[in-house]
Amino acid sequence: MALYITYLWWLLLLLLVPLVLLMKKKIQVKRQSKQLPPGPPKLPIIGNLHQIGALAHRSLWQLSKKYGPVMFLQFGGVPTVIVSSAQAAREVLKIHDLDCCSRPQSAGTGKLSYNYLDIAFAPYGDYWREMRKICVLELFSTKRVQSFQFIREEEVALLINSIAQLSSSGSPVDLSEKLISLTANITCMVAFGKSFKGSGFDCDRFQEIIHEAMAMLGCRSASDFFPSVGWIIDRLTGLHGRLERSFHELDVFFEEVIDDHLNPGQLKQEEEDIVDILLRIKRDETEFGAIQLTKDHIKAILMNIFLGGVDTGAVAMVWAMAELARRPRVMQKAQDEIRDFVGKKGKVSESEIDQLQFVKMVVKETLRLHPPGVLLIPRETMSYFKLNGYDIYPKTGIQVNVWAIGRDPTIWKDPEEFFPERFVDSSIDFKGQHFELLPFGAGRRGCPGMYMGTSTVELALANLLYYFDWKLPNGMEEDINMEEAAGLTVYKKLALKLVPMIHQWPQED
């Protein structure tokens, strides 16, 4: 009997060996017929997930140094191409924009976007085109953004006054907290006509909600990579519960905002806010009648505006002030430009920003080194195309590492240095036409709120530099901690605390 079992095992082995060899040959032939981009070896089941650390943009940057600017990785069951050069980004975002302008589905984006009723995460198609039309023509047109100028100027003035009141103590001010409060207030005023304080929500709690929602959008759950079993892992790790709580807290907030606008006794503002505009479109069903707007559509758009407007602007300003605090020469140069142009009138108005060329260079250099969205929101291919000679197939994820492009030594001299003067006599800007600098993306999926965001950043930064002189807290070296933390954006891990001193103008003779 034992001999019979031994013979049986040998027979099975003899049958399996040629089968395994045949399958291996088929896999090799399939790989040869598909000329995929190069990439690191992968493990069974998980693919390359084990090679990505907490700061994915840095992990992918290191891998690209070995495997090149167009790199193929397998994240669980999701094939993904990583783009890390300006030339390849141009191919993806311009030449093949239509081939890869959809979005992959994920647990976080699906839940927080009310099942993809938004603009940022909705898949490409007729629905998305109609929603983007609403966004471009109604919500973020140049005329509309300019109409909100008074809000930005008023809120920046309140920020300056609050810091001035604290400056007499000589104590450090938490600029990270101040700047996210600024962007939250501006976003609330633009979105529903009330400052954040007027909304009745606790400021600290709101910041926690925003950070948590950004973290949920930035992380990929197990169900994203392993659809059949990942949901079990998400429940065991608590990720599913976190996502549900995050959604519920935002939903309650948005529900109150909309109900407040529907209240017939509510005092109406002269200028329409964004909720007013969306409710008007919902009521009138004018040229956007292809979409029957519901409360969930409006909430999904508000989600985009809040998570895009509150976090990214504050993150950019914190990085800018941190870099300037480390480089007193650059800070002084920016302050001299502002004060020489504006004089002693007490504030910088938005109409003066275009004349402050060095301040604009500081913003560009900040966005080069510290783009808030270090990896553009992932795209998904809809059709086959060639990229740098490699085969790219439908349903492939595309991620553009704009952080890596901003540090490419073939484009930028001394790329790790914060040197705004590199933009002197340079036509490079961040509007999506220059692929060396892509903080807001490009093509059909470029950020529609770019003008709104940069207007806030430039105005606030100019006023902070005009009104105050800044120094580091006692004992802190100029080489301050610049450690990163990541969600959907990459922000300064430790709060930025600086000592403000109201600028003393020299006495006139």
pLDDT in tens, 6-41: 333 333 344 444 444 454 444 444 445 689 999 999
- How sure is the predictor about 200, in pLDDT bands with cuts at 50, 70 and 90? low
213-228 pLDDT, tens per residue?
A: 888 888 888 999 998 8
- How sure is the predictor about 3, in pLDDT bands with cuts at 50, 70 and 90? very low
Q: Which residues pair with 380 in a beta bridge?
A: 102, 397
Q: Is the pLDDT of residue 181 over 60?
A: yes
Q: Which runs of E-coded beta strand occur in 154-238?
A: 173-174
Q: Which residue has 């040197």 as its token pair? A: 419
Average pLDDT, the chain: 89
pLDDT at 203: 67
pLDDT at 442: 95
Q: Is CATH 1.10.630.10 correct for 35-422+438-502?
A: yes
- How sure is the predictor about 205, in pLDDT bands with cuts at 50, 70 and 90? confident
pLDDT at 310: 87
Neighbours of 147 (CB within 10 A): 13
Q: Is the pLDDT of residue 420 over 80?
A: yes
Euclidean distance between CA atoms 429 and 435, whole angstroms: 9
Q: Is the pLDDT of residue 198 over 90?
A: no
Give the range among 143-147, 153-157, 349-353, 392-396 with minimum mean pLDDT. Answer: 143-147
pLDDT at 289: 53
Neighbours of 498 (CB within 10 A): 21
For residue 215, the Cα-to-chain-centroid distance in whole angstroms is: 11
pLDDT at 262: 87
- How sure is the predictor about 265, in pLDDT bands with cuts at 50, 70 and 90? low
Q: Is the pLDDT of residue 346 over 80?
A: yes
Kindly report the CA angle at 502 between 496 and 505, in degrees rounded to 5?
140
Q: Tell me the pTM.
A: 0.90
pLDDT at 487: 84
pLDDT at 10: 38
Give the range among 127-141, 287-301, 398-412, 445-459 with minimum mean pLDDT. Answer: 287-301
Burial 221-240 (b: 16+ CB within 10 A, else e): bbbbbbeeebbeebeeeebb
Angle between helices 239-262 and 230-237 (to 10 degrees): 80
The token pair at 462 is 């100019």
Query: How does DSSP assign 223-248, residue by residue?
Result: HHH-TTTHHHHHHHHTHHHHHHHHHH
Question: Do the Cβ atoms of 404 and 108 come closer than 8 Å?
Answer: no
115-142 pLDDT, tens per residue?
A: 999 999 999 999 999 999 888 888 888 8
Percent above pLDDT 70 for the chain: 88
Angle between helices 357-369 and 450-467 (to 10 degrees): 120
pLDDT at 267: 66
Q: Is 447 annotated as a binding residue?
A: yes
Quick one: average pLDDT of 279-294?
Answer: 75
